[in-house]
Amino acid sequence: MVEIITEEGKDTIKTFGSSAIDVVNSMVDLPHIKELGEIIRTKDQESWIFSKQISLEELRALKDLVKDKAQIKLSLLEDN
């Protein structure tokens, strides 16, 4: 589960990922999401707070610089 903020307001959505980083990476791909809040792993309720010091817009701009997007997924898998 991840708390998101869009132009319509705050909401909580269910998403799937192998890690919190994987969830953030997925949310970066959704341009209508303006901010992220708490990420909660449902199997054990462990949670992470996405820092407001890190802008989704900045992450999107960095991701746009990567020509081979498959390398991002490969790197995320190697980090886990």
Tokens describing residue 58:
């900045």
Q: Residue 50: what pLDDT? A: 81
> What is residue 65's three-state secondary structure?
helix
Tokens describing residue 49:
């707070």
Confidence band of 65 (pLDDT split at 50, 70, 90): confident
From edge to edge, which strands make up the β-sheet containing 33-40?
A: 9-13, 2-6, 33-40, 47-49
- Residues 29-56: pLDDT tens digits? 999 999 999 999 999 999 999 877 778 9
The dihedral sign for the CA sequence 61, 1, 39, 12? positive
- The residue ranges of every structural domain in the chain are 2-79
- Residues 9-23: pLDDT tens digits? 999 999 988 888 889
Instruction: Round to the nearest angstrom and report the end-to-end CA distance of the chain.
Output: 19
Give pTM, 2 decimals: 0.74
